[in-house]
Amino acid sequence: MDGAAADGFDPASGPHQPVFVIEGVSKLYRTGEVEVRALNGVDAVLYEGELTVLLGPSGSGKSTLLNILGGLDKPSEGTVRFRGRELSAFSERQLTLYRRDHVGFVFQFYNLIPSLTALENVALVTEIARRPMKPEEALERVGLAPRMDHFPAQLSGGEQQRVAIARAIAKRPEVLLCDEPTGALDSQTGIRVLEALSAINAELATATAIITHNAAIQAIAHRVFTFADGRISEMRENESRVSPSEISW
């Protein structure tokens, strides 16, 4: 996998700066007497405007890496630099501000606040972000403007996930981290969600990383990282990306 950083990402689409530079990152978890090495010396570079898919079986380390990139967790060894600043050295307070200003998260189980409407769930973020878009605009982008006054319990799974995406992008994040965003959805709904993610990646030039078990999804990525045993076992650039509407599973 050496050389991935040097290869960069399709320079043809314009001058792209690295967003994350990951060097020698390992993560050890200790539960009782058992020591688990979730990541074992990972190196990678992620670029502005790039859509990356992280593939691999359960326990291969992709979620651990995503959590470290999102400032939810810290590496045991190695460094992660976000636009040149060393993330692994951030204090708790700095990590909070980092998440608030730069990162958008999308989870498998949406994690919407049930007591807030779709619009309010998005406003939750725009109220504290530095240069947000209007919540209505974010919902517009995921095609949910007509249902913005509905509570989560009144929305379908796909709609809830699209609200979660709207919430993630409303702050105009530099990074969008998605952990199994289609995992709880049927294929048709999943494709709509991927369309939304893909569109935002293209329009806002957000570095987007999508974790999935679903191999079909890799076709929409600029690059695909395959994980095994805490390492990146393979990195592949897609010569020809397809749009989400063209894939199926």
List residues binding other proteins (CB under 8 A). 63, 67, 70, 72-73, 93, 96-101, 103, 105, 107, 109, 111, 113-117, 120-121, 123-125, 127-129, 149, 151-154, 167
- Smallest distance from the beta carbon of 241 to other proteins, in angstroms? 29
- Cβ distance to other proteins smaller for residue 113 or 202: 113
Closest distance to other proteins from the beta carbon of 102 (Å): 9
| Closer by beta carbon to other proteins, 107 or else 235 | 107
Which residue number, 104 or 244, has a Cβ lying nearer to other proteins?
104
Strands (E) located in the chain: 18-31, 34-47, 51-55, 77-82, 85-86, 103-106, 175-179, 207-212, 223-228, 231-237
Q: Which residue, 171 or 192, has its beta carbon nearer to other proteins?
A: 171
Q: Residue 138's closest CA among 108, 174, 106, 162?
A: 162
Compare residues 5 and 124 and give the one whose CB is closer to other proteins.
Answer: 124
Element (H, E) at 6: helix 4-7
Q: Give the DSSP per-residue string, 79-143.
A: EEEETTEEGGG--HHHHHHHHHHHEEEE-TT----TTS-HHHHHHHHHTT-SSPPPHHHHHHHTT
The residue (of 4 and 60) whose beta carbon lies closer to other proteins is 60
Contact 26, 75 (CB under 8 A): yes
* Least Cβ distance, residue 84 to other proteins (angstroms): 21
CB of 153 to other proteins, least distance (A): 5
Please state, in angstroms and rounded to a whole number, the distance separating the CA atoms of residues 191 and 218: 13
Of 96, 155, 148, 153, the residue nearest 122 (C-alpha): 148
Quote the least distance from Cβ 172 to other proteins, whole Å. Answer: 13
